[in-house]
Amino acid sequence: MARLIRLRNRGNPKTAASQLRGGIIMGIGMALTEETLFDERRGRIMNPSLAEYHVPVNMDVPHIEIVYTGIPDEHTPLGARGIGEIGITGAAAAVANAVFNATGKRIRDLPITLDKLL
């Protein structure tokens, strides 16, 4: 049974890495580009489609190497671990800390834009 757990947990590392990478890219977008703009007078969203809502594309994101242990979770059936979009959790904070280290200015309102740094 232990052998089955190990094989099951490593079942599709490419999919797991892709999920994690996608979450990291979403975190980068949250930190730098994604912002919903509202019209205060009419209460409408000013960028309701992807044409006006800026998300990171392939050229915006550096190479991301995914490394994980593949150790089965002893508390779940078959040792499976959920990766999902857990990569988004710390990505925006990491970008904000990098901006702080580079500029000395702490930005707490995302996205981090040039006007907030000046």
Q: Is 65 a catalytic residue?
A: no
CA dihedral angle for residue 56, residue 110, residue 97, residue 89, rounded to 10 degrees: -70
95 closest CA partner among 78, 112, 74: 112
Q: Read off φ and ψ for residue 78, nearest 5 degrees.
A: 60, 10
Residue 20 DSSP label: H
Instruction: Write out the catalytic residue numbers.
Output: 85
